[in-house]
Structure 1
Amino acid sequence: MAGEYDVIIIGAGPGGYVAAIRSAQLGFKTAVVDREHLGGICLNWGCIPTKALLRSAEIFHYMQHPGDYGLKIEGTVSADIGAVVKRSRGVSRRLADGVAFLMKKNKIDVIWGEAAIEAAPTGGGPGKVTVKETKRAEPPKGALGAGSYSGKHIVVATGARPRALPGIEPDKKLIWTYYEAMVPEKMPKSLLVMGSGAIGIEFASFYRTMGAEVTVVELLPQILPVEDAEIAAFARKRFEKQGIKFLTGAKVTKVEKGSDQVTATIEDGKGGTQTITAERLISAVGVVGNIDNLGLEKLGVKIERGVVATDGLGRTNVPGIYAIGDVAGPPMLAHKAEHEGERCVDAIKGLHAEPLDKGKIPGCTYCHPQIASVGLTEAKAKEQGYDIRVGRFPFVGNGKAIALGEDQGLVKTIFDRKTGQLLGAHMVGAEVTELIQGFVVAMNLETTEEELIHTVFPHPTLSETMHESVLDAYGRVIHT
């Protein structure tokens, strides 16, 4: 019957739309509900458009330094920020249209509006989802609208939104979240960034390359707090050489707004304060799960630390209700959401599925230089009691890196001395976000140092730095 489904998924981001496709593959009658974006924040306001912006910045950087490659550009090199933003938005639209095509191809109903769960599925019948009309965006062609829908299984995949600090709430004009930072009407001459995680560092890198004076304020003593300390320190030196300024162990305590600028009061953690004036401030202090107005608490769904608690396969404490992706907790990454979605639906079908090993989920930051990692940092490995071997290899010893003009980078590997198990891999340098998957595959296959040492890496490639790092951990490095 119309309006009755085996699986209803609330949220069409990476977790939601992938779960919907997997659900359809398994023969479930499936619907996905969204109020604004097919593809979610990732495709529309996160992962994808930021990479388009950063690509423009990368090309601009090369254009500014043609002599490094034996080239000459006549005249002044400049950037058209309007055209840069337009290209970025076009990339997002193309991919969002692609998601719409995939929904149609897999015979998945798209329901457009704001959803709430009125009743959980029970042994006696399906759950109920009500959808209210949304004014946020035009619905895709063929989408269903407001109404009441029933589902035997209801999956919450509503993602997350930027965290706002009291007194420093974004106003879309002077204080930005990543939404506004992706579509500037003009290029600010100066920028203050609160937070040095992936979001903060990517925007700091983009705006600095495009010519803005950038200062980053980080509460903790280390920038990129989740990364290995050695990698973060290497990256910081590269960023500082580019002109980015950092204030670590510091926090913004007050912001005063002017007509076209902000003045921030910053405490250094040692009793001292200073003020910094910048045209714009980006708040990048984390995200919070979108759990509001879904009816979860009314149904007794357990919430922990602002996200939905699950068993690792998406199952909540209320039978028939599931949660995946950012709304189900960290790491808040699109690829984690996708795999959670697939495993959740497999479990619904009764197929064998195991929870994701979060220690084997890679993280990537697309600044210049790039940063990528998987597994334990050196400090975490020691905290957990491992006797470790650590290998390091600098890009300066790699022929491909030198030929590319990208000889500033480092690969670091961490092994269990007793077993040879690869515990962690951490990288900073050109294209490391494309290289990290090699170590992820190795960890999932439980590869030891012996297999990695005897693996033949192609020459000349940046991937050879990975091999040399393993060799270094065992006293066999060749090119340093």
Structure 2
Amino acid sequence: MADKYDVIVLGSGPGGYVAAIRCAQLGLKTAIVERELLGGICLNWGCIPTKALLRSAEILHYAQHAKDYGLKIAGAIEADLEAVVKRSRGVAKQLNQGVTHLMKKNKIAVHMGEGTLTGPTSLTVKSDKGEEKLEARHVIVATGARARDLPFAKADGKRVWTYRHAMTPPEMPKKLLVIGSGAIGIEFASFYNDMGCDVTVVEMLDRIVPVEDKDVSAFLNKSLTKQGMTIMTGAGVEDLKVTNKGVKAKIKDAKGKVSETEFTHCIVAIGIVPNTENVGLEKLVEMDRGFIQIDDYGHTKSKGLWAIGDCTPGPWLAHKASHEGVTTAEAIAKELGNKDVHPHPLDRNNIPGCTYCHPQIASVGLTEEKAEEAGYEVKAGTFPFIGNGKAIALGEADGFCKTVFDAKTGELLGAHMVGAEVTEMIQGFVVGKTLETTEAELMQTIFPHPTISESMHESVLASYGRVIHV
């Protein structure tokens, strides 16, 4: 006899567990199926423990530059890699236990094991305890994704790493090759560089962090180079061979010259692969390159079957998955007769992106280039942190804020930042875009002094030739 629920969520990452909680809040009998750890990759092996590592590297950086703040620290400042990793894993464990508590609090049934769909609204769960059958009125697939391997050099955890290996390194790399300069690649490059490693980043496209505004990419390239990294753009790794001492990489540079360089370790950060194989999805959904195709509420082509998060089209971000989880839960409740919920479709233009390298990057909406390609007449303005009193006082005067507006309507099209604490500030522009703000409203908004956020205001003013402090 199968256990029956209103909703079953397959996967407990930031999309899955949030969807399950929202379903439970709406009075739906809910279950979640997880094959490994509650909280998924983000909480256990991604977003959160990575930020713990980066925080340790940041503290090390400040300690090494104490004299810049008029301070003296006696003795050598050294990184204890084992202790840094232990702290990171402790943070992940604490949050994993938090999700476990949330499941109990919301009376969500947890089935640990490998889930496989046997139909749009039914599945089996295999574990060490055997096999159980589950049925529901609706099923949400939230199986996430995993790191993509190089076809000619699969990750082995010893010399060739994915992000997961890089979080629990068996040893400190001396000379590290990072392939790919998206958020994951750049964050680990920044971490290991701050920890004292010789880092080289190879990016196939003509600039690093290529989804960001060109001005941000150029600034970050200059900053990371100044910090001692080697940045190669328009370049590609043509071959990678593991040796007893490390890896030998054949790299073709932007001019077409191929050279062979030895590294002790390599991190592969060339994208993700959705976890949609062997789940029973093949006849139930439409897929593009393995990603489940959905509408703006999470519907698949099969009635009662929904999908959210990294197993669906991007951007592949935890907060996007969580937002989708809430939207889909409310859409399901509405279909089941709840007249008090009013789900809104996902607006991909209002999804912020944050990269926690040093300096940080944050953005939302269209870049200046993309806005022009879309046919907008653009007004754009930039304000450098060197003109911001708080940034100077903090010793963090490197960075800028850039805003992009529709010249005809004053609509905020995009905002792009690089520098200290910008990942905390970007939400101001996200709220503004969600509320469909204009330049006039932002200009009339009072920003507190002294804060780095004043640079947000100044960038708006700069877009219209009214900047004050430059």
| TM-score bucket (shorter structure) | over 0.9
Q: CA RMSD in A?
A: 1.1
1:41 aligns with 2:35: no
Query: Which of the numbers 295, 306, 310 marks the counterpart of 2:294?
Result: 310
1:355 aligns with 2:345: yes
Does the Cα contact within 8 Å between 1:112 and 1:146 map onto a contact in 2?
Answer: no
Alignment of 1:312-331 (within 5 A): 312-331=296-315
TM-score by length of structure 2 reads: 0.97
Closer, same or farther in 2 for the Cα pair 1:108/1:145, shift >3 Å? farther
* 1:424-469 superposed Cα distances (whole Å, 9 cap, x missing partner): 0000000000000000000010110001001000000010000000
1:245-324 aligned at under 5 Å gives the runs 245-297=230-282, 299-324=283-308
Aligned residue in 1 for 2:383: 393
Moved over 3 A (4+): none
Determine the C-alpha separation between the residues in 2 that align with 1:363 and 1:304: 23
SS of the equivalent of 1:104 reads helix
Q: Distance in 2 between matches of 1:145 and 1:34?
A: 15
- The answer (yes or no) to whether the contact 2:7–2:31 under 8 Å persists in 1 is yes
Q: Does 1:179 align with 2:173?
A: no
Structure 1 residue aligned with 2:201? 216
Deviations 1:330-380 (A, max 9, x none): 000000000101100111111322221101100000000000000000100
Say if 2:96 is the partner of 1:88: no
One-letter amino acid of the counterpart of residue 195, structure 2: M
SS of the residue corresponding to residue 161 of structure 1 reads: strand
Percent identity at matched positions? 60
Secondary structure, counterpart of 1:14 in structure 2: coil
User: Aligned AA for 1:202?
Assistant: E
In structure 2, what is the Cα distance between the partners aligned to 1:252 and 1:209?
24
Distance 1:171 1:79 in 2: 25
Is the 1:49–1:89 Cα contact (8 Å) retained in structure 2?
Answer: yes
Shift of 1:269: 4.7
Contact 1:113 1:145 (C-alpha < 8 Å) held by counterparts: no
Amino acid at match of 1:152: R
Asked whether the equivalents of residues 175 and 199 of structure 2 are also in contact (C-alpha less than 8 Å), the reply is yes
- What secondary structure does 2:78 align onto? coil
Opposite residue 77 of structure 1, the aligned amino acid is I
Alpha-carbon deviations, 1:300-330, whole Å to 9, x = none?
3111122000011110001111100000120
- Matches of residues 3-42 of structure 1 in structure 2 within 5 Å? 3-42=3-42
The equivalent residue for 1:60 is 60
Paired amino acid for 2:215: E
- Which of 178-187 and 267-276 deviates more? 267-276
SS state of the match for residue 15, structure 2? helix
**Offset at residue 270 of structure 1 (A):** 3.6
How has the CA–CA distance of structure 1 residues 145 and 408 changed in structure 2, closer, same or farther, with 3 Å as cutoff? farther
Query: What pairs with 1:97-112 in structure 2 (closer than 5 Å)?
Result: 97-112=97-112
Question: Aligned partners of 2:166, 2:37: CA distance in 1, in Å?
Answer: 18
Letter of the aligned partner of 1:149 in structure 2? L
Contact 1:117 1:295 (C-alpha < 8 Å) held by counterparts: yes
Q: Would you say how many aligned residue pairs link Structure 1 and Structure 2?
A: 464
Contact 2:147–2:162 (Cα < 8 Å) also in 1:
yes
CA–CA distance in 2 between the matches of 1:183 and 1:30?
A: 34
How far has the Cα of 1:37 moved from its partner? 1.3
Which letter maps to 1:326?
A: D
Aligned equivalents of 1:49 and 1:449: distance in 2? 38
Say which SS state the counterpart of residue 244 (structure 2) adopts: coil
1:161 is the counterpart of 2:146: yes
**1:323 is matched by which residue type in structure 2?**
A
CA distance in 2, matches of 1:285, 1:473: 35
1:71 aligns with: 71
**What is the aligned counterpart of 1:445 among 435, 440, 458?**
435
* Residue of structure 2 in register with 1:460 after alignment: 450
**Quick one: distance in 2 between partners of 1:475 and 1:145?**
68
Separation (CA, whole Å) in 2 of partners of 1:114 and 1:260: 38
Is the Cα contact below 8 Å between 2:2 and 2:133 reproduced in 1?
no
Question: How many Å separate the matches in 2 of 1:13 and 1:145?
Answer: 24
Note the C-alpha offset of 1:145: 7.0
Residues 217-256 of structure 1: matches in 2 within 5 Å? 217-256=202-241
Distance 2:362 2:287 in 1: 31
Cα distance in 1 for partners of 2:104, 2:342 equals 28
The answer to whether the Cα contact below 8 Å between 1:112 and 1:145 also exists between their aligned partners in 2 is no
Kept in 2: contact 1:255–1:262 (CA 8 A): yes
1:165-207: CA deviations, max 9, x gaps? 2112111111000011000122111100000000000000000
Q: Give the SS at the match of 1:423.
A: strand
Gaps of 5+ in 2: 335-340
What's the CA shift string for 1:97-146, capped at 9, x where partnerless? 000000000000010000000022xxxxxx32101116xxxxxxxxx974
* Equivalent residues of 2:2, 2:135 under 8 A apart: no
